[in-house]
């Protein structure tokens, strides 16, 4: 018997007799409020436990021989699609003429609605370069052949000039979108009127200062998107009025790996950018363009999804629910004593 009594003395939760327990309306109100608070906190803790968080790690980039995907989605509201070309140059200065390129150009009317589509093949840079230098090459090497085809060349140029001038009069624009797969080295790509023969361009625009390279960047990225990524050029608008020039975006690409909990690793890239605009001068011989000059960082960022442990969830849950239960118990006692102190003097005055 002595051992049982000693064990009972350790009971931290003594029980009172049933007839000694008193239920009050204030206690019921506090209990309901406490249950609502505990249910709310439980749902919050459960959602917090089920939500993943990310851990960032850095290491040296060891990738070699891979390609770099460039996702482009831009609108040129003041230039027709017939004069726009997409060109890519690597760090050695050579044109990449064998890209795996999938670029589309959408003709837009003055209201921004699509009125036509044109596909640029993977040899677009080669064709434009050949077209650009036709006059010089034929003059030095194939003068007889040029004189034989001169009428056809002039007729094609005249047709191009008329077509583009009509498009400019109709205030046509162009939307360029697609994917460029380039070598994983520093370089640049640009969108401009460089694909035109220089004499044709001069007859169309009557000077480089009249080439309006206003543009809207809807999307520019260097790989698939992952949760939380921010591409700083998305939504960029650069609209020119009564002037023109060269836009240059200097981009620093950071190779990135996003490691999901339940999915495969997603290789992609994020980037930072600085911008520079050079207005055209009367003596400039170059033509306006939009350049994207990119370089790759030697550091790879690994973003890893992780989930909090179940023991962490149980610990937080016990702390939150236990604290709420203790607080509501204290509040119930305070309210009971307050009501008792208020009601007892009134009862005594009635008896007297």
pLDDT band at residue 100 using 50, 70 and 90 as cut-offs: very low
pLDDT of residue 294: 95
DSSP 8-state assignment for residue 209: G
pTM of the model: 0.72
pLDDT digits (tens, 9 = 90+) for 168-177: 889 999 999 9
Residue 317 neighbours by CB under 8 Å, 6+ apart: 42, 45
* Range name among 79-83, 115-119, 275-279 with the lowest pLDDT average: 115-119
Find which of 5-19, 128-142, 239-253 is predicted with most confidence, using mean pLDDT.
239-253
pLDDT of residue 22: 65
pLDDT band at residue 98 using 50, 70 and 90 as cut-offs: very low
pLDDT of residue 229: 92
pLDDT of residue 14: 66
Q: How far is CA 194 from the centre of its chain?
A: 29
What are the residue boundaries of the structural domains of the chain, listed by start? 27-52+308-342, 64-110+155-306
**Average pLDDT over the chain, rounded to whole?**
80
Question: Are 278 and 321 within 8 A, CB to CB?
Answer: no
Q: Assess whether pLDDT exceeds 50 at residue 303.
A: yes
pLDDT of residue 16: 61
Q: What percent of the chain has pLDDT over 70?
A: 79
pLDDT digits (tens, 9 = 90+) for 18-31: 655 666 777 778 78
Q: Of 210, 212, 232, which is closest to residue 222 (Cα–Cα)?
A: 232
Top-confidence residue, 144 or 84: 84
pLDDT digits (tens, 9 = 90+) for 223-252: 999 998 999 999 999 999 888 999 999 999
- Rounded mean pLDDT, 193-206: 82
pLDDT of residue 284: 75
Cβ atoms within 10 Å of 208's Cβ, excluding its own: 20
Q: Assess whether pLDDT exceeds 50 at residue 126.
A: no
pLDDT of residue 312: 87
pLDDT of residue 296: 93
- Rounded mean pLDDT, 322-331: 85
pLDDT band at residue 71 using 50, 70 and 90 as cut-offs: very high
Top-confidence residue, 89 or 345: 89
Both tokens assigned to 19: 């007839």
Cβ atoms within 10 Å of 165's Cβ, excluding its own: 14
Q: How far apart are CA 49 and CA 308, in angstroms?
A: 6
Q: Assess whether pLDDT exceeds 60 at residue 125.
A: no
pLDDT of residue 96: 53
- Rounded mean pLDDT, 90-98: 60
The answer to whether the Cα torsion of 306, 310, 312, 314 is positive or negative is positive
pLDDT digits (tens, 9 = 90+) for 245-299: 999 999 999 999 999 988 889 999 999 999 999 998 877 778 899 999 999 999 9
Both tokens assigned to 202: 């001069």
pLDDT of residue 352: 52
Q: How far apart are CA 7 and CA 9, in angstroms?
A: 5
**Beta-strand (E) ranges in the chain?**
53-60, 67-76, 85-90, 102-108, 114-120, 173-183, 187-192, 215-221, 236-238, 245-259, 265-279, 289-296, 299-306
Q: Which residue has the tokens 């109100």?
A: 29
Q: Which helix (H) or strand (E) holds 57?
A: strand 53-60
pLDDT of residue 274: 96
DSSP 78-115: TS-GGG-EEEEEETTS-B--S---EEEEEEE-TTS-EE
Q: Assess whether pLDDT exceeds 80 at residue 12.
A: no
Q: What is the largest CA-CA distance in the chain?
A: 133
pLDDT of residue 95: 64
């Amino acid at each position: 018997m002595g051992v049982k009594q000693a064990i009972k003395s350790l009971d931290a939760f003594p029980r009172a007799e049933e007839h000694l327990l008193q239920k009050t309306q204030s206690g019921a109100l506090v209990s309901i409020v406490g249950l609502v608070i505990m249910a709310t906190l439980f749902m919050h803790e459960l959602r917090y436990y089920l939500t993943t968080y990310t851990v960032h790690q850095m290491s040296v980039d060891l990738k070699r021989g891979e390609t770099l995907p460039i996702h482009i989605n831009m609108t040129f509201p003041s230039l027709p699609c017939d004069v726009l070309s997409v060109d890519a140059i690597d760090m050695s200065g050579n044109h990449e003429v064998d890209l795996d390129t999938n670029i589309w150009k959408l003709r837009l009317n003055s209201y921004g609605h699509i009125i036509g589509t044109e596909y640029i093949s993977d040899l677009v840079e080669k064709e434009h370069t050949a077209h650009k230098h036709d006059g010089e090459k034929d003059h030095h090497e194939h003068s007889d052949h040029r004189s034989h085809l001169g009428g056809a060349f002039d007729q094609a140029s005249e047709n191009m000039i008329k077509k583009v001038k009509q498009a400019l009069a109709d205030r046509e624009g162009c939307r360029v979108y697609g994917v460029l797969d380039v070598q994983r080295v520093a370089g640049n790509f640009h969108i401009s009127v460089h694909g035109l023969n220089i004499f044709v361009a001069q007859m169309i625009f009557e000077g480089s200062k009249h080439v309006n390279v206003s543009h809207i960047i809807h999307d520019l990225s260097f790989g698939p998107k992952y949760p939380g990524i921010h591409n700083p050029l998305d939504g960029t608008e650069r609209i020119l009025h009564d002037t023109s020039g060269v836009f240059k975006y200097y981009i620093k690409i950071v190779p990135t790996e996003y490691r999901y909990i339940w999915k495969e690793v997603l290789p992609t890239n994020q980037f930072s950018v600085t911008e520079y605009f050079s207005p055209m001068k009367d003596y400039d011989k170059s033509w306006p363009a939009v350049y994207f000059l990119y370089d790759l960082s030697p550091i790879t960022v690994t973003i890893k999804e992780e989930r909090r442990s179940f023991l962490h969830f149980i610990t937080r849950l016990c702390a939150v629910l236990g604290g709420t239960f203790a607080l509501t118990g204290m509040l119930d006692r305070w309210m009971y004593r307050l009501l008792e102190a208020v009601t007892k003097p009134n009862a005594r005055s009635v008896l007297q």
